[in-house]
Structure 1
Amino acid sequence: MEDKIQEKQKNELVEWIKAIVFALLVAFVIKQFLFTPVLVQGASMMPTLEDKDRVIINRIGPKFKSIDRFDVVVVENVLLNKKEENIIKRVVGLPGDKIEYKDDQLYINGEKFSEPYLDQYKKELKDTGSLTYDFTLDQNLGKTTVPEGQYFVLGDNRRVSNDSRNPEVGFIPKERIMGTTSIICWPIEHIDFSFN
Structure 2
Amino acid sequence: MASKKNDWVEWIKILLVAVVIIVFVRMFIAVPIVVEGPSMLPTLENGDRLIVEKLSVTFNQIERFDVVVFHATMKKDYIKRVIGLPGDKIEYRNDQLYVNDQPVDEPFLAEVKSQLEENTTYTTDFSLEEDIKGNKEVVPEGHVFVLGDNRTNSTDSRQLGYIPMDDIVGVAKLTYWPIDKISLLE
Shift of 1:128: 4.3
Structure 1 runs of 4+ off > 6 angstroms?
none
Percent identical among aligned pairs is 44
How far apart, CA to CA, are the structure 2 residues paired with 1:107 and 1:118? Answer: 15
Q: Cα deviation per residue 1:112-160 (whole Å; 9 max; x = unaligned)?
A: 0000000111123357421100011112221111111110000111000
* Equivalent in the alignment of 1:179: 170
* Equivalent in the alignment of 2:39: 44
Deviates more, 1:35-44 or 1:16-25: 16-25
Q: Cα deviation per residue 1:94-118 (whole Å; 9 max; x = unaligned)?
A: 1111111001000011000000000
Which residue identity does 1:98 align to in structure 2? K
How far apart, CA to CA, are the structure 1 residues paired with 2:182 and 2:119? Answer: 32
How far apart, CA to CA, are the structure 2 residues paired with 1:61 and 1:115? Answer: 22
How far apart, CA to CA, are the structure 2 residues paired with 1:110 and 1:126? Answer: 27
Structure 1 residues 28 and 127: CA distance shift in structure 2, 3 A: farther
Shift of 1:181: 1.4
Shift of 1:68: 0.8
Alignment of 1:1-196 (within 5 A): 6-76=1-71, 78-79=72-73, 84-125=75-116, 128-141=119-132, 142-166=135-159, 169-193=160-184, 195-196=185-186
SS at match of 1:165: helix
How far apart, CA to CA, are the structure 2 residues paired with 1:120 and 1:55? Answer: 22
- TM-score, reference length from structure 1: 0.89
Which residue identity does 2:88 align to in structure 1? D
- TM-score, reference length from structure 2: 0.94
> Alignment length, in residue pairs?
184
Q: CA RMSD in A?
A: 1.4
How far apart, CA to CA, are the structure 2 residues paired with 1:108 and 1:127? Answer: 25
Which residue identity does 2:147 align to in structure 1? L
Which residue identity does 2:115 align to in structure 1? E
Shift of 1:16: 0.7
Larger radius of gyration: 1
Which residue identity does 1:159 align to in structure 2? T
How far apart, CA to CA, are the structure 1 residues paired with 2:85 and 2:56? Answer: 17
* Equivalent in the alignment of 1:3: none
Which residue identity does 1:180 align to in structure 2? V
Segments of structure 1 that go 5 or more residues without pairing to the other structure are: 1-5
